[in-house]
Structure 1
Amino acid sequence: MKALVIAAGEGSRLRVSGYHGVKPLYPLLGLSLIERVLLTLREAGIREVVLVIGFRGQEIKDYLGDGSRLGVKIQYIDNPSWSAGNGTSVLAAEKVLQGERSFLLTMADHIVSQEAVERLIKVRPREHEIYVGADFKLDRIADLEEATKILVSDGKITAIGKKLNEFQAVDCGLFHATPALFDALKEAQVQGNSSLSDGIMVMARQGQALVCDIGDTWWIDVDKPDDARLARKVLLMNLPSPRDGLVARYFNRKISVVLSSWLAWTRITPNQVSIFNAVLCFLSAILFATGHFLWAGLTAQIASIIDGIDGELARLKFLKSPFGELLDSVLDRYGDGLILMGMTAGAYLNGSHPLVLVLGSLALLGSPMSMLMKEKFHTATGRRYLPAQEGMWVNLLLANRDGRLLVVMLSGIIRLPVVGLAILAVTPHVLVLIRLKLMKRLLLKNSASLKV
């Protein structure tokens, strides 16, 4: 499937913030608006993009090139009549897309979640139909007055426009269209109307404009500086992973997300962060082994916080890769092992009973089990195992990585690594027993649903 992206407008309202560039190139957390749109399309599986440019279009072409840097193929179309309305920009792509069964349509200034794009891709418009991405969460719309409103009846659009008094949803700037849209836009132009909404209204009168509810997914039309600030907030808010443990969710992410927002403007990569995190773990191990327990514990907690940044940067700047996930996982396991070995050596060399060697061995044995069980569950079911579903009391065992490193820090602060080792010699194995029971139930349920 191809995507048609409209990037022809002037975007004058962003200039009040002092920005003098072209609107699609407006920077947002290390990427331009148009880059975020194209990368979201790529992540949703779209590799061919028809990009309509107009106002200072050459700057956009010079910046994006052929799209290979972003993993997409871009075909440019210049629309000299861009100021007449966004409908003319859609019409400019008619010759290129006329032979397509359907295509995705979106705007260069609309930041949408990947999940929203995937929902629009899944719906299949019949010939002469169009699906409009519709947001029914009216209480969450930042600027409802400026939004394009939709009146819906039985899943079909009966009216669309900014001036509607009665409506149930708003258009989120994402569409799954057929070439019939071009004919509808031509008919609207004959009537003196040149916006995309006018063309959709022509189709709506014929019962051919339908809505696709985007559900709980999100989107933002970046039209003004306030919209850009909201987009930044929403992007950062969606960085934490649903796989976070208790400590990461309520403490680590409060710091790591802020750090990620700063690092987004640099060339630092997620893999570099993973390597730096491993170095911190090694340093913590050395500090424990040499008796500097306080600094060792604090260093371990810093590593725990930074452990979230590589994933946050990867999601924020579309830098996720299978190798990056593998590298992060391997380095985390080495880092955990080194810290526990350092704690064991430090406790033993500072006069602890030889039993500490047993505690260290049990802690080392249990350290990788949390990740191992979650990965095995994912392999067996194709679904992520989320610690949050275990309940608060299980999370209080602090046996996930974020919890274990908190225990490490606290034992360093009180200068008794043997206490931390004693806790970590027990809690990971208790968590294994609990998860075996929970996962057995989930696996049996999954197996039963497959048989049905």
Structure 2
Amino acid sequence: MTSTERLRRIARAQRFSFDKSGNGPALLVAASHVFEPAWLKFMAARPGHVLTLNGEKVIAHVEKGGARDFPEGLSEVRAEDHRVFYNEALRKREEPVLERLEPATVRAIERKTYFGAYKGVTDILTKYLWPEWALVLTRIAARLHMTPNMVTAIGAILCVLATWLFWEGRFWEGMAAGLGFMVLDTVDGKLARCTITSSYWGNIFDHGLDLVHPPFWWWAWGVGLTHWGLALAPHEFALVMIAIVAGYVVQRLIEGVFMRRFGNMHIHVWEKVDSDFRLITARRNPNMVILFVATALKRPDIGIIAIAIWTVLSCIFHAVRLRQATRKRQRGIKIRSWLEV
């Protein structure tokens, strides 16, 4: 897209009007540069200032818009002095993209924008295994003018297919379909952020699917063990499913309570140990690693039991962390993220 179209989308997403009439305060932007939305928000809070990069004026907050060039007399803010931001939504410290757009820099800017759309605190597969795969798919989706919701819809089909394959005991095929879904679950979010096309309903669709499907996968896996001659006894099956489903729900509730109690901050970004534990906590992707290893060893029954145990242990860990944070605040200690700048 053109710089002007990208700016138009950023402005719309941040609820700025894209107006050249010159009535009232305005942000004057150089179309010669590509920048992340964080920079627009940064300058919106600094009237009478101009942001520079390598001495070039990029964004100015002026008293009156409509100018064709940057006015004189504005206080300079050097981008080089404000490179690190705390992105609460993506749970990370970041250096948002701010680069001069030239033919030689397009590919590098594309990669920076893509990796800038990644969450800093997430599971081990999303953080270390998916990025390069998802980059290729995100680029293809963008070139085909696919919307994030289209990608989510394809992923939803693979998610349902994986559930059915697990139910039928076709674990390898199910994991292949699940792998496709898990990668696309990364692609839709990156496509939305990179092309500035996030939407309220798209967010509901994506996160709603993420939230609901895992218990159905584990239940289907337990049923599918029958086809391997490894079915759990009825009481064992009941205990395993109660541990997995109840543990999953309780973990989500703990996360919600933590956010409500500590100013919308995720439990996974409180202290570094919480961010490290998020890599392996009992969520879908780490659980799939457990099932993959167990199936490779021809004991998928042990895999689902291991998930139940790991879910309970993860739940205990988060419950303890919630209690510790609550007690610290009661002692007058401010609870803040270790990632804050």
TM-score (norm 2): 0.80
3-state SS of 1:220 partner: strand
Q: CA deviation at 1:248?
A: 1.1
Runs (5+) with no aligned partner, structure 2: 85-95, 336-341
Indicate which of 12, 15, 19 corresponds to 1:49: 19
Q: Deviations over 1:275-326 (max 9, x none)?
A: 3223222222222222222222232233222221121111122222232222
Aligned to 2:339: none
User: Take 1:446 and 1:316, find their aligned partners in 2: how far apart are those partners?
Assistant: 38
Q: Structure 2 matches for 1:61-210, cutoff 5 A?
A: 96-97=21-22, 100=24, 102-125=25-48, 131-135=49-53, 147=54, 149=55, 171=56, 173-179=58-64, 196=70, 199-200=71-72, 203=73, 208-210=74-76
SS in 2 for 1:174: strand
2:3 to 26, 33, 38: 33
* Compared CA separation, residues 118 and 392, structure 1 to 2 (3 A): closer
1:117 positional shift: 1.0
Identify if the C-alpha distance between structure 1 residues 133 and 230 changes in structure 2 by more than 3 Å, giving closer, same or farther. Answer: same
CA distance in 1, matches of 2:6, 2:195: 8
Specify the alignment match of 1:407 in structure 2: 290
Q: 1:310 to 1:284 in 2, by over 3 A?
A: same
Q: What residue number does 2:88 align with?
A: none
Question: What SS does the corresponding residue of 1:320 show, helix, strand or coil?
Answer: coil
Instruction: Count the aligned residue pairs.
Output: 316
Match of 1:244 in 2: 122
Relative contact order, CA 8 A, sep 6+: which one is greater?
Answer: 2
Secondary structure class of the residue paired with 1:336: helix
Is the CA contact 1:289–1:343 (under 8 Å) kept in the aligned structure 2?
Answer: yes
CA contact (8 A) 2:32 2:100 kept: yes
- 1:260: how far off? 1.1
- How far the C-alpha of 1:398 sits from its partner, in A, is 4.0
Contact 1:264–1:316 under 8 Å retained in 2 = no
Pick one of 433, 437, 440 that aligns with 2:316: 433
User: Aligned pair 1:270/2:148, yes or no?
Assistant: yes
Change (3 A) 1:389 1:302: farther
Tell me the equivalent position of 1:347: 225
| Root mean square deviation of aligned Cα | 3.0
> For residues 181 and 383 of structure 1, what CA distance do their matches in structure 2 show?
39
For the pair shown, the structure with the greater C-alpha radius of gyration is 1
Equivalent residue for 2:248, pick from 359, 363, 367:
367
Look up the match of 2:83.
215
CA contact under 8 A between 1:235 and 1:316: conserved in structure 2? yes
How far apart are residue 104 of structure 1 and its match? Answer: 0.8
Q: Please state whether the residue corresponding to 2:143 is helix, strand or coil.
A: coil
Q: Distance in 2 between matches of 1:323 and 1:181?
A: 35
Cα displacement (A) at 1:180: 10
Letter in 1 for 2:264: G
Unmatched tracts of structure 1, length 5 or more:
1-30, 51-95, 126-130, 136-146, 150-170, 186-194
What are the within-5 Å matches in structure 2 for residues 294-333 of structure 1? 294-333=172-211
Cα distance in 2 between the residues matched to 1:181 and 1:341? 61
Q: State the Cα deviation string for residues 349-398 of structure 1 (Å, max 9, x = none).
A: 52333123422332233334444433443344222443683357634644
Does the residue aligned with 1:49 lie in a helix, a strand or coil? coil
* Alpha-carbon displacement from aligned partner over 1:150-190 (angstroms, at most 9, x marks no partner): xxxxxxxxxxxxxxxxxxxxx351111234996xx9xxxxx
Q: What amino acid is aligned across from residue 253 of structure 1 in structure 2?
A: P
> 1 or 2, which has the higher strand percentage?
1
SS in structure 2 at match of 1:210: strand
Write 1 or 2 for the structure with the bigger share of helix.
2
Return closer, same or farther for 1:341/1:382 CA change in 2, 3 Å cut-off: same
Cα distance change, pair 396–225 in 1 and its aligned pair in 2 (3 A): closer
Normalised to the residue count of structure 1, the TM-score between the two structures is 0.62
- 1:215-270 residue CA offsets vs partner (Å, 9 max, x unmatched): 32331121x21122222121112121234212210112332232112111223322
Q: For 2:197, what is the secondary structure of its paired residue?
A: coil
2:164 equivalent in structure 1: 286
Amino acid at match of 1:294: W
Q: 1:303, 1:261 → 2: CA distance?
A: 17
Structure 1 residues 353 and 428, CA gap change in structure 2 (3 angstroms): closer
Return closer, same or farther for 1:442/1:256 CA change in 2, 3 Å cut-off.
farther
Match of 1:383 in 2: 265
Post-superposition offset of 1:111: 1.3
8 Å contact 1:256–1:305 — kept in the other structure? yes
